[in-house]
Amino acid sequence: MITKKGESNNKKVGKFRSNKERVTYFLSLFNKKDRVLILIWADPDALASALAIKRILQNRVERVVISNVNEISRLNNQVMVKLLQIPLQKFSPELLKNFNKVILVDSQPSHREEFKNIHFNAIIDHHPTLNNFSAEFTDIRPDYGATSTILFEYLKTLKIKIRLNLATALVYGIKTDTDNFEKSANLHDVIAFHSLFKYVNKHLLKKIEASSLRRSELKYFKMALNNLKFKRNKAFVYIGKVTSADILVLIADFLNRIYETSWVFVAGEYKKKLIVIIRCDGYRKDAGKLAVKVFKNLGLAGGHKEKARAEIPFTNLNIEPEDFTTSTLIKIFKKYFKEPKSFSHRYLKEAPII
């Protein structure tokens, strides 16, 4: 959904007719005296998109800063930031005092607690639209595989030369959010990838993609295999306390490659929260909707058809982290699937109820 100044997502709004009209309006929000903060939950698509916006605004405003609300713990992302020299400043509420314009990229205000009390002048995203916020400019395209594709179209419309580091970042952002075009991609993503690839540093891209796992994290894969349970075509595993929630994503993506599996649920404890990563094949399934349905009253949840995430404070559950098991995870999701009686087992009756 693309809205114009002063219009809320909760109202019926008009749409821009072209990228030129869209980008022209976006730029009209800024002037030479503006100090602009680009806020992100740092993953490859968000990092690349923020870098593109910084490139677009760098000679049009006084200052542009990219700020990440999360700790960047995933190795690929750390390597991406380092090799592509992406300038970042860790977010804190006090930082907002130094800026008069704020842009949210690759996310929406209700996705994170940190975003909820901030007024955003512009929101650019490709996740499913949530109708509970407003901004002077909103460009949300759920049919796009990556926000990087949207920002490529901005750059192309403005005829801005895309240099090596930015091209490499955008290509990696598209690759990660479309799972190398296996999921959630459309023709716009393909065109963007094709147009950008000739400018990419292939050595840097390969280095970033290859840096996905630390040796110290191998133990979590062992724990996952030991605790893994299958219920028909569904894989469930609770790993326990982890040093980074990103390891849960790596394990979920790994299990999602199993031929006989169409749903994957991987959970763990991180910073006193239950983190649940959901994966599916997206065929007549919707992981994002399932996550919201199960956890909407307990914490943050959402995502795409093929992938989703939930973060639930254990204080919102009537169970201690040490008592949570794979069986508990199965029990949570059991009622949302129509299963034969054989799905129910003795241990499910013994599992704590949320």
Q: What is the CATH number of the domain that holds 335?
A: 3.10.310.40
Note whether 200 and 223 are same-domain residues: no
Query: What's the pLDDT tens digit per position in 195-220?
Result: 999 999 999 999 999 988 888 899 99
For 247-299, the pLDDT digits (tens) are: 999 999 999 999 889 999 999 999 999 999 999 987 788 999 999 999 988 99
**Residue 347 clears pLDDT 60, i.e. is over it:** no
pLDDT band per the 50, 70, 90 thresholds, residue 113: confident
pLDDT higher than threshold 60 for residue 13 = no
Contacts 24+ apart (CB under 8 A), 75-79: 75/211, 75/212, 75/213, 75/214, 76/44, 76/208, 76/209, 76/211, 76/212, 77/42, 77/43, 77/44, 77/47, 78/211, 79/207, 79/208, 79/211
Report residue 323's pLDDT band, with 50, 70 and 90 as the boundaries: very high
Residues 103 and 233 in one domain: no
CB-side exposure of 343: number of CA atoms within 13 Å?
A: 17
139 lies in the same domain as 235: no
- Residue 326 three-state SS: helix
- Same domain, yes or no: 123 and 188: yes
**Tens-digit pLDDT profile for residues 126-181:** 988 876 778 999 999 999 999 999 999 999 999 999 999 999 999 999 999 998 89
pLDDT surpassing 50 at residue 10: no
Band (339; pLDDT cuts 50, 70, 90): low
Residues 192 and 227 placed together within one structural domain of the fold = no
Q: Indicate whether 283 and 266 sit together in one domain.
A: yes
- pLDDT value of position 291: 94
Q: For residue 161, which phi and psi values (nearest 5 degrees)? A: -70, 130
| Mean pLDDT of the 187-202 span | 97
Over 70: is that where the pLDDT of 349 sits?
no
Domain final residue pick, 182, 210, 238: 210
| Residue 113 or residue 103, greater confidence | 103
Residue 63 DSSP symbol: E
Q: Are residues 174 and 272 in the same domain?
A: no
Is the confidence at residue 12, as pLDDT, over 80? no
Show the DSSP H helices in 162-299 as ranges.
Answer: 164-177, 187-197, 202-210, 218-227, 246-255, 287-295
Residue 72's CATH number:
3.90.1640.10
223 and 203 fall within a common domain = no
Instruction: Give the SS3 label for residue 140.
Output: strand
Q: What are phi and psi of 148, to 5 degrees?
A: -55, -35
Same-domain pairing of 255 and 198: no
Which residue in the block uniquely carries the two structure tokens 């609770």?
A: 238
Cβ contacts of 270 within 8 Å, gap of 6 or more: 241, 242, 244, 245, 248
Q: SS3 of 202, please?
A: helix
> Percent of the chain, pLDDT > 90?
71
Tally the domains of the chain.
2
The residue segments making up the domain with residue 273 are: 218-350
Percent of the chain with pLDDT over 70: 91
Q: Give yes or no: residues 196 and 237 share one domain.
A: no
Beta-carbon count within 10 A of 58 CB: 11
The per-residue pLDDT for 20 is 94
| Per-residue pLDDT at 302 | 87
Q: In this structure, what token pair is assigned to residue 135?
A: 């901004």
pLDDT on residue 338 = 66
Q: Which of 210, 231, 266 is the last residue of a domain?
A: 210
Domain boundary among 210, 244, 259: 210
Same domain, 195 and 232: no
Tell me, what amino acid is at 240? G
Residues 170 and 257 in one domain: no
